[in-house]
Amino acid sequence: MSRATVATIHLGALRRNLARVRELARGAKVMAVVKADGYGHGLERVARALSDADAFGVAAIGDGLRLRAAGISNRIVVLSGPDEPADLAEFRRLQLDAVIHHESQLVWLEADRDSRHLRVWLKLDTGMHRLGFALQRAPEIHARLRALANIDADIALMTHFAASDEFDNDLTARQIACFDATTVNLPGARSLVNSAGVLGWPAARGQWLRVGGLLYGLSVIAGKSGADLGFEPAMTLSAKLISINCIQRGERIGYAASYECPEDMPVGVAAIGYGDGYPRSAPSGTPVLVNGVRAAIAGRVSMDLITIDLRAVPNAKVGDHVVLWGRELPVEEIAACAGTISYDLTCGMTKRVLFVEGGA
């Protein structure tokens, strides 16, 4: 193996995280959201590990096709619905649920003459202002869908929270109230909460939870790690030291010579960079683990390499293990250093990273 940059996916952690969500769900069904290639953990791999989920949520028909080709028989919901009229036949062939959120999609359904039933979810905009019908149109749209002979009569009702991770923000409470008032006389299962909603808004759990980040052990709350919330990180990103050099005090390291050595010091080079998906924005001081000991990046992240201040690990040697994030080093901490969120990092792994499965 010429390049030992590895993302280890902990299948046991995925399963335990789902079990924890079920405890919090208190009888509600769980839609495991596996979009963005399972938040960067591998779509098929994640779906097999989470086979007990009541449904999978994906972003596009292509994801549904991949899951069906992998033998996944669970209910699959395409969260953005059809993109053009021709998609409807594929939804039926693959037995995918369609989220209907726009007038154009409704017009396609009304013009469709395929007799096979299609299961749909009606999405309402309660304040996110991204996808969804205006609330005042809910009774009309629901009636139009119910009038179609080829649409399953069991139409689920859903919305999306804009600030559910801010437990003191009353926007979510207002969204819940608007949704409840609008749909009170409409039949169908309800789906409001996402991962943050599971933790902060349990009264709104409805009949379906749509859970993404928590399943991967990723925090949805600022200043907290997934472990802080009772979930296990499902990815460990690691590399190896390929060089160690003794650099003199006052010498500078890396592109733009941005890091000046404060003393004579050992500096390691690890085979990982933004070409692998490690964030280029991670500054000097961003932590890594070398043989389980905290060290820090020194200098800019380059495409293939990072340089590491090894003063805390004086016995380090070429070939030693470097963890960029994982169980002992939360990805949320790295994301905070890089000015982004954990989802961005796990979704950003490139093709040259070797993915391996770990059972634990």
DSSP state of 283: P
Between the alpha carbon of residue 300 and those of residues 31, 273, 336, the distances in Å are: 40, 10, 16
Q: Which two tokens stand for residue 140?
A: 């009309």
Contact criterion met (CB below 8 Å) for 230 and 13: no
Contact criterion met (CB below 8 Å) for 81 and 58: no
11-22 exposure pattern, b = at least 16 Cβ within 10 A, e = fewer: bebbbbbbebbb
Sequence letter at residue 307: T
Chain length of the chain? 360
Distance of CA 94 to the CA centre of its chain: 24
Active-site amino acid positions: 35, 255
Of 29, 55, 25, 64, the residue nearest 189 (C-alpha): 29
DSSP state of 264: S
